[in-house]
Amino acid sequence: MSGGKTKVVIAGGGTAGWIAAAAMSHQMGELLDIILVESQEIGTVGVGEATIPPMRTFHRLLGINEQEFVRATNATFKLGIQFENWKQIGEKYFHSFGVTGKQTIITDFIHFWLRGRELGVAGEFGDYCLEYKAALQGRFSLNSQSKINYAFHLDAGRYASFLRERAEACGVKRVEGKIAQINQNPDSGCITSLQLESGQELVGDLFIDCTGMKGLLIEQTLQTGFEEWGHWLPCDTAIAIQTEPTEPPTPYTKSIAHHAGWRWKIPLQSRVGNGMVFSGRHMSNDEAKDMLLSSVEGKTLTEPRVIKFKTGRRKKSWNKNCIAMGLASGFLEPLESTSIHMIMTAVTRLLQLFPHGGIKQSIVDEYNNQAESEYERIRDFIILHYKATERDDSPFWRYCKDMEIPYGLKHRMDLFKDFGRSNQVEGELFRLDSWTQVMLGQGVVPSSYHPMVALMPESGLQNFLGSIAAEVDDNIAMMSMHEDFIKRYCNRV
Ligand SMILES: Cc1cc2nc3c(=O)[nH]c(=O)nc-3n(C[C@H](O)[C@H](O)[C@H](O)COP(=O)(O)OP(=O)(O)OC[C@H]3O[C@@H](n4cnc5c(N)ncnc54)[C@H](O)[C@@H]3O)c2cc1C
């Protein structure tokens, strides 16, 4: 502590470092002395451009104006993810951010829908979801009554600069340089300072490790350990490339499965992010590069870049006086765009549990328990996409179909099959609607519906379903095309 202020040193200035700096300085700036060190020579991972809706809540916490943010980061709007070839080659489904239909206290909407299908009075499941139908029609709008749930596709480099400006305005000091050595207290093992190649020493009370996958502080110095989940999530390599757009940006991400993983397409305002995610055991880098280059549509703007990754999490996100965030804390592959969100929850958690009067084990344990359960629940949701497949056209998909899965996920899949219930756990990121859409999309279908829905007369059920679908269509009719909306939104002053 210096003059009553806690000295915080943030190591790394990628998305994680600047999110941490912006949030901590905005919320607690007057109580902290924050220094961020980053190395332009080392650079950042340079990907991470699809997000999920809780980002908007986090931005509100930081007082970020959404229009300014969309303009500054070249962002487009995102209503969900379209999955192609995941259940079967040639089939598609959509995981939207919206609520589908209406539920009662006793039964989820899916029971009404299943009964409606049986009677021949229900449409597609997505007909009852605004975000799904708007996405497929390429529409997007915001107005004061708008209940649409959305996120963004953004330029990661511009986002870091946008946050940097805010953080520096709130007093964060940025230091350019490479960390060459990490000094520890010989008795406690706590980190005392970071020594840069230039000889400069950054002394701190609390160190935030945002140095990316290598985890310079949390792993290379504190040797915290890593729990690997490659046996459940076998993809371990990505190849990314940017292209020029050839069509208006879709308000959704595309995830297209191939024989050894999947491929993403993320549209920004002026370019498209593309990437292959695959298992190195089932596909070579050259094969993946060829597949990526032959499937992208526009002129390429960058060279293909290979990124190796390990799926799993640090055994402790907080160890001694070091808290790891972003890739330094672990990685879940980008299928559901959850990593940036997890940086935001990590820094929010730290602010909530900010140690005063010294670091106490109870606070560290609470932080780590919350981080662990967040990781595991999101992990299970991602595994679902691989496990619940009907594909058996390649060794990769046969492996996924046959693999053992965590008990919690198995229970959820069984409960859904047997009873049509997704069993949402309190506080978990993915809500019932998400689980239901992905289960159905991947071919996990309930064998029956709740008997109470059969008490509703057929005409009543038809009216109930029809009125929801009509409300969705009425709302969509008032929406703009996504591209037109962005133009207006970004030009508005
Ligand atoms: C293929 C892929 C696709 C992804 N897609 C998504 C997505 O769609 N959505 C999503 O939410 N997330 C996604 N992610 C995750 C997302 O990219 C990261 O969570 C995010 O970019 C945060 O990265 P980071 O800041 O932790 O690490 P990095 O970007 O690697 O930054 C590390 C920082 O540490 C600095 N540094 C390292 N060593 C030193 C040193 N010795 N001295 C000084 N500075 C140092 C570097 O200069 C850099 O500033 C994806 C990840 C991958 C691998």
Over residues 426-471, the pLDDT tens digits come to: 789 998 899 999 999 999 999 999 999 999 999 999 999 999 999 9
Please tell me the distance from the alpha carbon of residue 310 to that of residue 230, in angstroms, as a whole number.
7
Domain coordinates of the chain in residue numbers? 6-49+155-230+311-359
Which one of 15, 182, 331 would you pick to mutate in the ligand 1 pocket, going by the greatest count of ligand atoms within 8 A of its CB?
15
Please tell me the distance from the alpha carbon of residue 64 to that of residue 74, in angstroms, as a whole number.
15
When pLDDT is averaged across residues 133-141 and rounded to a whole number, the result is 96
Q: Which CATH number fits domain 6-49+155-230+311-359: 2.40.40.20, 3.50.50.60, 3.40.640.10, 3.40.50.970?
A: 3.50.50.60
Q: Which residue has the tokens 């200035």?
A: 13
Residues 6+ apart with CB under 8 A from 337: 50, 51, 52, 81, 151, 253
Atom of ligand 1 nearest to the CA of 343: 19
Atom of ligand 1 nearest to the CA of 52: 11
Residue 3: the pLDDT is: 57
Convert the pLDDT of each residue in 79-105 to its tens digit.
999 999 999 999 999 999 999 998 887
- pLDDT at 334 > cutoff 70: yes
Q: 302 and 212 in contact (C-beta within 8 Å)?
A: no
Q: 464 and 125 in contact (C-beta within 8 Å)?
A: no
Pick the closest to residue 440 from 91, 118, 50 (CA basis).
91
Q: 15 and 340 in contact (C-beta within 8 Å)?
A: yes
pLDDT band at 492 (very low <50, low <70, confident <90, very high): low
Q: 129 and 99 in contact (C-beta within 8 Å)?
A: yes
**Does residue 12 line the site of ligand 1, with CB under 6 A?**
yes
**Does residue 273 line the site of ligand 1, with CB under 6 A?**
no
**Does residue 74 line the site of ligand 1, with CB under 6 A?**
no
Q: Is 426 exposed, middle or buried (0-12, 13-18, 19+ CB in 10 A)?
A: exposed
What's the residue count for the chain? Answer: 493
Residue 1: the pLDDT is: 54
Convert the pLDDT of each residue in 343-362 to its tens digit.
999 999 999 999 988 899 99
Convert the pLDDT of each residue in 363-388 to its tens digit.
999 999 999 999 999 999 999 999 99
Which residues face 153 on adjacent strands? 50, 76
pLDDT band at 493 (very low <50, low <70, confident <90, very high): very low
Residue nearest to atom 44 of ligand 1 (CA): 38
Q: Spell out where 97-145 has E strands.
A: 139-140
- pLDDT at 417 > cutoff 60: yes
The whole model's pTM is what? 0.97
Which one of 210, 216, 233, 255 would you pick to mutate in the ligand 1 pocket, going by the greatest count of ligand atoms within 8 A of its CB?
210
- Structure tokens of 294? 């032959």
Residue 427: the pLDDT is: 81
